[in-house]
Chain A
Amino acid sequence: MASVGKIARRTFLIGAAAVAGGVAVGYYYYRKPFPNPLEGDLAQGEVTFNPYVKIGADNTITIVAPRAEMGQGISTTLAVMVAEELDVGLDRVKVEHGPASHAYYNAVILEEGGPFAFFDESMTAQAVRSGLGVVGKFLALQGTGGSTSTRDGFDKMRQAGAAARQMLIAAAAQKLGVAAADLETADGSILHKASGKSLTYGAVAAAAAAMAPPAEVRLKDRTDWKLLGKPQKRIDMLAKVTGAPIFGIDVRLPDMLYGTVKMSPRFWSRPVKADLSKAEKMPGVIKIVPLETNYGHGFGIIAENTWAAFNAAQAIDAQWSDPEYPPSSAAISDVLKQALGTKGSVMRDNGDVDTAFADAPRERIVEADYGVPYLAHATMEPMNATAQLRGGALDIWCGNQAPTLVRQLCANAVGIEQDKITVHTTFMGGGFGRRVEMDYALCAALMAKETGGRPVKVTWTREEDMRHDAYRPAAIGKFQARLGDDGMPVAVDMKMAAPSITAGMLRRLFPSISPLGPDKTIVDGAYDQPYTIPNYRVSGVAAPVSIPVGSWRSVGSSVNGFFHEGFMDEIAVAGKIDPVEMRKRLMAAYPSAVKVVEKVAAMAKWGEALPAGKAKGMAFTLSFGSWVGEIVQVADTPAGIRIEKVWIAADVGTALDPGIIEAQLVSAAIFGLSAAMGQEITFADGMVEQSNFHDFDAMRIFQCPVFEVAILENFHKMGGVGEVGTPPAAPALANAIFALTGKRIRTLPLSKTVAFV
Chain B
Amino acid sequence: MRLTVDGQSFDIDAVPDMPLLWALRDLIGKTGPKFGCGIAACGACTVHVDGQPVRSCSLPVGKVSGAVTTIEGIGTAGRLHPVQQAWLEEQVAQCGYCQAGQIMSAVALLDEVADPSDADIDNAMGGNLCRCGTYPRIRSAIKKAAALKTAGL
Mark A residues whose CB is within 8 Å of B.
Answer: 70-73, 231, 233-234, 236-247, 249-250, 252, 258, 283-284, 305-307, 310, 378-382, 427-432, 459, 461-462, 659, 663, 666-671, 674, 692-694, 697-702, 704, 706-707
Structural contact, A242 and B71, CB atoms closer than 8 A: yes
Contacts of B98 in A (CB 8 A): 380, 429
Scoring B residues 84 to 119 as 1 if CB is less than 8 Å from chain A, else 0, what string do you get?
100110011111111110010000000000000000
Structural contact, B100 and A243, CB atoms closer than 8 A: yes
Distance in Å from the Cβ of B75 to the closest Cβ of chain A? Answer: 7
Contacts of B15 in A (CB 8 A): 283-284, 307
Instruction: Please name 24 pairs of A and B residues whose Cβ atoms are closer than 8 Å in the assembled complex, sorted by A.
Output: A72-B94, A237-B93, A240-B93, A243-B32, A243-B100, A252-B29, A306-B22, A307-B19, A307-B22, A307-B26, A663-B134, A667-B132, A692-B38, A692-B39, A693-B37, A693-B42, A694-B41, A697-B129, A698-B131, A700-B129, A701-B128, A701-B130, A704-B135, A707-B136
Structural contact, A380 and B38, CB atoms closer than 8 A: no
Contacts of B3 in A (CB 8 A): none
Structural contact, A427 and B96, CB atoms closer than 8 A: yes
Structural contact, A240 and B96, CB atoms closer than 8 A: yes
Contacts of B144 in A (CB 8 A): none
Ranked 8 nearest A-B pairs via Cβ: A243-B32, A429-B97, A670-B133, A71-B95, A240-B96, A71-B94, A243-B71, A702-B122
Distance in Å from the Cβ of B39 to the closest Cβ of chain A? Answer: 6
Structural contact, A663 and B94, CB atoms closer than 8 A: yes
Q: Which residue of B has the minimal Cβ distance to A457?
A: B26
Interface: B121 (CB within 8 A): yes
Structural contact, B126 and A239, CB atoms closer than 8 A: no
Structural contact, B18 and A307, CB atoms closer than 8 A: yes
Structural contact, B91 and A234, CB atoms closer than 8 A: yes
Q: By the criterion of a CB under 8 Å from any partner CB, how many residues of chain B are at the interface?
A: 58
Structural contact, A381 and B97, CB atoms closer than 8 A: yes
Contacts of A668 in B (CB 8 A): 133
Given A242-B72, A243-B71, A693-B37; A305-B133 close (CB under 8 Å):
no
Given A237-B88, A693-B42; A701-B122 close (CB under 8 Å):
yes
Interface: B77 (CB within 8 A): yes
10 further interface pairs, Cβ-Cβ under 8 Å (given A379-B95, A462-B37, A667-B132): A71-B96, A71-B132, A241-B84, A284-B15, A307-B22, A659-B91, A699-B133, A700-B129, A701-B128, A706-B136
Once bound together, how far apart are the Cα atoms of A700 and B98, in whole Å? 13
Once bound together, how far apart are the Cα atoms of A245 and B19, in whole Å? 20
Structural contact, A246 and B129, CB atoms closer than 8 A: no
For A461, give its contact among B33, B38, B93, B122 (CB under 8 Å): B38
Scoring B residues 136 to 148 as 1 if CB is less than 8 Å from chain A, else 0, what string do you get?
1111000000000
Structural contact, A380 and B34, CB atoms closer than 8 A: yes
Once bound together, how far apart are the Cα atoms of A697 and B41, in whole Å? 9
Distance in Å from the Cβ of A479 to the closest Cβ of chain B? Answer: 29
Once bound together, how far apart are the Cα atoms of A674 and B135, in whole Å? 13
Given A306-B25, A380-B97, A381-B97; A242-B132 close (CB under 8 Å):
no
Q: Which of A243, A245, A258, A429 has the most CB of B within 10 A?
A: A243
Structural contact, A663 and B137, CB atoms closer than 8 A: yes
For A702, give its contact among B80, B96, B100, B123 (CB under 8 Å): B123
For A238, give its contact among B18, B70, B77 (CB under 8 Å): B77
Once bound together, how far apart are the Cα atoms of A666 and B140, in whole Å? 15
Distance in Å from the Cβ of A146 to the closest Cβ of chain B? Answer: 18
Structural contact, A233 and B96, CB atoms closer than 8 A: no
Report how many A-B pairs have Cβ atoms within 8 Å.
177
Scoring B residues 22 to 59 as 1 if CB is less than 8 Å from chain A, else 0, what string do you get?
10011101011111111101101000000000000000
Mark B residues whose CB is within 8 Å of A.
Answer: 15, 18-19, 22, 25-27, 29, 31-39, 41-42, 44, 70-72, 75-77, 80, 84, 87-88, 91-100, 103, 121-123, 125-126, 128-139
Contacts of B35 in A (CB 8 A): 249, 306, 382, 459
Given A241-B103, A692-B37, A707-B136; A380-B95 close (CB under 8 Å):
yes
Structural contact, A430 and B131, CB atoms closer than 8 A: yes
Once bound together, how far apart are the Cα atoms of A244 and B96, in whole Å? 10
Contacts of A247 in B (CB 8 A): 34, 97
Contacts of A236 in B (CB 8 A): 93, 96
Once bound together, how far apart are the Cα atoms of A233 and B76, in whole Å? 18
Distance in Å from the Cβ of A386 to the closest Cβ of chain B? Answer: 12
Structural contact, A241 and B88, CB atoms closer than 8 A: yes
Once bound together, how far apart are the Cα atoms of A380 and B100, in whole Å? 12
Q: Which residue of A has the minimal Cβ distance to B22?
A: A307
Structural contact, B72 and A380, CB atoms closer than 8 A: no
Contacts of B103 in A (CB 8 A): 241
Distance in Å from the Cβ of A313 to the closest Cβ of chain B? Answer: 12
Once bound together, how far apart are the Cα atoms of A462 and B45, in whole Å? 13
Given A671-B131, A707-B136; A73-B94 close (CB under 8 Å):
yes
Q: Which residue of B has the minimal Cβ distance to A310?
A: B38
Distance in Å from the Cβ of B10 to the closest Cβ of chain A? Answer: 15
Distance in Å from the Cβ of B68 to the closest Cβ of chain A? Answer: 14
Structural contact, B29 and A241, CB atoms closer than 8 A: no
Structural contact, B131 and A380, CB atoms closer than 8 A: yes
Q: Which residue of A has the minimal Cβ distance to B75?
A: A242
Contacts of B137 in A (CB 8 A): 663
Distance in Å from the Cβ of A253 to the closest Cβ of chain B? Answer: 12
For B36, give its contact among A70, A462, A702, A707 (CB under 8 Å): A462
